[in-house]
Structure 1
Amino acid sequence: MLGRLSLVACFALVSLASASPLQLPLGNAPFKVATELEVLSNPESFTTLSNPSLPGYKVRVKPVKGLCDTEVKQHVGYLDVDEDRHFFFWFFESKRDPKTDPVTLWLNGGPGCSSMTGLLMELGPCRPTPGGAGVVPNNYTWNSVSSVLFLDQPVNVGFSYSDDGKDKALDTEAAAKDVYAFLLIFFSTFKRYNPLDFHVFGESYAGHYIPAIGGVIIEGNKDAESEGFPVINLKSLGIGNGLVDPLVQYEYYADMACNPPGYDPVVTDKSTCASMRSKVKTCKSLINACYKYGSPMSCVPGSYYCNAAEISPYQSTGYNPYDVRKKCDSGNSLCYPIMNDIVAWLNTPEIRSTLGVGDIEFKSCNMQVNLDFQLKGDWMHPFVKLIPSMLDEAGVRVLIYAGDADFICNWLGNKAWTLELEWSGKEEYNSAKDKPWTTESGLDAGEFRSYGPFTFVRVNGAGHMVPYDQPDAALDMFSSWLAKTKFTGTY
């Protein structure tokens, strides 16, 4: 889910002029960590994992039984960085066959919003009851076909925290580096998962995070074996209703506000719609400056001007920015009552004790983190430039999906940037036909376009959080993508 400042906007600091992959310096010392048996046998306290080649990084982990999912092995813990930054994670094994099923990392966006939203509102094995007194099973959980790892990042998001309580001026590059270090230690300890296919999925501002994480994994894999690190078997990236290419996407806010295909207009004042359209040229000029120079000075003006020009008019209507069909629920700043239930359940003393989070108070989103990312100029960075090399050189498949009722990272803008992406299959992808998509249960779920390793899926009747609005379709899409049974050029 995306964050909200004085306006709502789609939810880096690395120069992408050359679109070079992010890098994490590796050492040459082998991993010396606690064995998996030691981790599994210590349910009451954390076992600490480390590696001398990753100075400043440690992972605390412990097993959890019967919480949220009573059928599978679970682990919770923290990635500790430089003794003062601590990133919370929660891992669920696959219900089907954890020995052969893939592993998927899930990230929510914001920037500054917790991945526990994905776990407890969208694709995890349970959902809170009204009021947050307990949880009930989610029959459409994604860990029915894949082990799933939920990570709260950057620091001070969800149950993640810093020792002094201050934000560490993070950006997408720093976040990707931390995630990669975590994955190295995780896979070196839980070795049975390391040979399995690995996928990175997320939504919203994760449209920034995921290409960056994919880039640093691919770069790290080049020297991993010689340096004594595990090779991460990255197979695909999946981005739902993401902010990936702002230069293209910001052009489509007026269309989604004033003439959303298949839905009633939200912004009905013609002069307001005309104003939104008239400001696109200036908006794109400012984003272009960010794409060219990449500094905070060149990137911050675009985020503030464009969000005010293209998003604020929608927000002023009182409609849900994540779903053009609904008014924003006044009982929660993020528009959904279930968000209050998630916060209540996670802050229950017995749940906090089981998770080992101490006195950290869970909050869905941290708006100071959101502001910090904006002030670093991260918002308008073109992480889209990392995707072509993944498709053309690294053999990584990329799935872009979008609910058709979302405003904030709408399907119009997402489909548009996939058509403008410069890669070897651009001509064939652009000339491909949109094909209908029907789930195994017979649901008319939407349509897709695909060529080679690249696919775009439009999901019918879903807002920003596709697995929440259309759980059947979301699980069908996810499982079919992993199994390569749909969303291919020959389907």
Structure 2
Amino acid sequence: MKLLAAAAGLILAARAAASPAQHPFLAHHDVLPAFFDTGFPAARNATPSLVSNAKWSKIETMAALPNYQLRIKQPKLCAENTTQYSGYLDTDEDRHFFFWFFEARKAKREDAPIVLWMNGGPGCSSFTGLLMELGPCRVEEGGKTTSTNEFAWNDQAHVIFLDQPLNVGYSYGKDVFNSMAAGKDVYSFLQLFYHSFPEYSRSELHVFGESYGGHYVPATAKAIHEGNLAFSAKQEAGLLSAAEHEKRVLPLTSIGIGNGLSDALTQYKYYSTMACNSTYPPVLKQEQCDEMDRSYPTCARLINACYKWQNVLACYPAMMYCNSMLMKFQESGTNPYDVRIPCTGGNLCYPIMADIDAYLNNPDVQAELGSDVKEFTSCSQKVYSGFMLSGDWMKPYHLEIPPLLEAGIRVLVYAGDADFICNWYGNKAWTEALEWSGRSEFGSEKDADWIVKGKAAGEARTYKNFSFVRIFGAGHMAPYDQGQNLLDMLNRWIHKKAFY
């Protein structure tokens, strides 16, 4: 009872210090009444008039996954001369994840790898990445049309944009406020995808994400890797059922985390550095950054308790207290995603977000894609609140990465160096502190210039299958700011070419 009282006290103290939200990553949000009075927010349901099997070109199932199905259609939007698919992964637990797939522009279908992309939030649609950052088209001002993105990541790779967790974008159904649970559904989605499209059976798999993708990507990779190990063990022992022979070892080759939150204990230490002593002009006064530094030891103690117990009573107070350290930055009016510019255009500080909403809420676009819901939700306050109340924010998802490295799976962590909220100082620091067999050697590697078209695009270091890349002149949504350089980064990565 004392622990609950202490937790409630910290929650109320942090809430009292909070100001209205500017965007998901800094927001404190008015979620306490939901916690005490009504529980988690209600799930979103399909719009009955939009649900029809007639609109799908095919519906795929697997005997090995009796609780799942994949509904698929072929839209003609965004990149009309590119093979594309959209649809839903359905589960019998009323979970419906929306996806949009684009084939590679400049590589053979059977040889190009697959990149699975997930945006963060938590609670933001991956179509932000599609229409603002790295998709084959970018939405135009006003949201009525799109134009070609010459630096799209489907240059030499097939790319899947997946709306997860549930109730963001066009996804809907029973709420899931846990990155690990969502990862297991993504594993089943990929099994069904490879089963449904044998023409991509040779395609290596790369799982990438941004921001809260620092949680999603390790959780998804863990589900895939452990699913592969379990399948292989049963196969070698001759214990697969007839239905299970439909499944496969998913060809997980690498993961990539861009400006992510993975190790809060390390990363929160560097907010004062980015605010006052970065390579860009300071945003805050030095005394404000000194106050951040004085608050960090308490923040660290709370995060350590979360890392130890990994439950809501330990993790929620850590999130509330530590995020209160960031309020002076929020009040400054500077874009937390890019310290070079002011926050404009509403909750995500970019006017293009309103254009994305307008485009994806067009009924004709929704009909072409096959949406089962009449409202596209770019970032869901309800989903954000659910993740906060579940304690997911501060959990140590970086600890899922060493088993991947030891298994030979390649890991790329990259960060635009103008981002505040998941800044490159903190991201580089946690990669250096990560406990794995190559820690010492990775830490002693020298940073080297990464050159694109004769100019330094950033700095990189690599030891064996682990790489960190700092991207010059890019904010949180690095492909938006440095499209050409980020495409170079991806193409080098998927083709196993060095950065220096």
TM-score by shorter chain over 0.5:
yes
> Residue 241 of structure 1: which of 259, 273, 289 is its match?
259
Q: In structure 2, what is the Cα distance between the partners aligned to 1:61 and 1:237? A: 26
**TM-score where L is the length of structure 1:** 0.88
Closer, same or farther in 2 for the Cα pair 1:429/1:5, shift >3 Å?
Answer: closer
Q: What pairs with 1:103-118 in structure 2 (closer than 5 Å)? A: 103-118=114-129
Query: Does 2:285 correspond to 1:272?
Result: no
> Residue 399 of structure 1: which of 388, 399, 412 is its match?
412
Report the CA distance between 1:46 and its aligned residue.
4.5
Q: What pairs with 1:310-329 in structure 2 (closer than 5 Å)? A: 311-329=326-344
> Residue 214 of structure 1: which of 210, 213, 221 is its match?
221
**Residues paired across the two proteins, number:** 444
Please tell me the residue identity of whatever aligns with 1:477: M
Alignment match, 1:160: 171
Alignment match, 1:32: none
**TM-score where L is the length of structure 2:** 0.86
Report the CA distance between 1:169 and its aligned residue.
4.2
Query: Does 2:168 correspond to 1:151?
Result: no
Alignment match, 2:397: 383
> Residue 471 of structure 2: which of 459, 470, 482 is its match?
459
Report the CA distance between 1:51 and its aligned residue.
2.2
Where is the helix percentage greater, Structure 1 or Structure 2? 2
Closer, same or farther in 2 for the Cα pair 1:2/1:430, shift >3 Å?
Answer: farther
Q: In structure 2, what is the Cα distance between the partners aligned to 1:427 and 1:409? A: 24
Query: Does 2:85 correspond to 1:75?
Result: yes
Please tell me the residue identity of whatever aligns with 2:469: V
SS of the residue aligned with 1:91? Answer: strand
> Residue 357 of structure 1: which of 343, 366, 371 is its match?
371
Alignment match, 1:293: 309
Contact 1:7–1:312, Cα closer than 8 Å, also in 2: no
SS of the residue aligned with 1:341? Answer: helix
Contact 1:7–1:315, Cα closer than 8 Å, also in 2: no
Structure 2: any 5+ residue segments left out of the alignment? 1-21, 30-52
Alignment match, 1:133: 144
Q: In structure 1, what is the Cα distance between the partners aligned to 2:347 and 2:462? A: 37
> Residue 475 of structure 1: which of 459, 483, 487 is its match?
487
Contact 1:2–1:205, Cα closer than 8 Å, also in 2: no
Please tell me the residue identity of whatever aligns with 2:343: C
Q: In structure 1, what is the Cα distance between the partners aligned to 2:70 and 2:426? A: 38
Report the CA distance between 1:44 and its aligned residue.
4.5
Query: Does 2:429 correspond to 1:416?
Result: yes
Report the CA distance between 1:349 and its aligned residue.
1.8
Q: What pairs with 1:219-230 in structure 2 (closer than 5 Å)? A: 219-224=226-231, 226=240, 227-228=244-245, 229-230=247-248
> Residue 207 of structure 2: which of 189, 192, 200 is its match?
200
Structure 1: any 5+ residue segments left out of the alignment? 9-41
> Residue 444 of structure 1: which of 444, 452, 456 is its match?
456
Deviation track 1:127-158 (CA, whole Å, cap 9, x = no partner) reads 11110110000000000110000000011001
Query: Does 2:352 correspond to 1:334?
Result: no
SS of the residue aligned with 1:192? Answer: helix
SS of the residue aligned with 1:279? Answer: helix
Query: Does 2:94 correspond to 1:84?
Result: yes
Report the CA distance between 1:83 and its aligned residue.
5.2
Contact 1:4–1:367, Cα closer than 8 Å, also in 2: no
Segments of 4+ moved more than 4 angstroms? none
Q: In structure 2, what is the Cα distance between the partners aligned to 1:43 and 1:434? A: 55
SS of the residue aligned with 2:431? Answer: helix
Alignment match, 2:60: 49
Q: In structure 2, what is the Cα distance between the partners aligned to 1:177 and 1:45? A: 25
Alignment match, 1:142: 153
Report the CA distance between 1:356 and its aligned residue.
1.0
Q: In structure 2, what is the Cα distance between the partners aligned to 1:133 and 1:461? A: 30
Deviation track 1:2-46 (CA, whole Å, cap 9, x = no partner) reads 7246449xxxxxxxxxxxxxxxxxxxxxxxxxxxxxxxxx99435
Please tell me the residue identity of whatever aligns with 2:342: K
Q: In structure 2, what is the Cα distance between the partners aligned to 1:400 and 1:378? A: 21
Alignment match, 1:232: 250
Alignment match, 1:303: 319
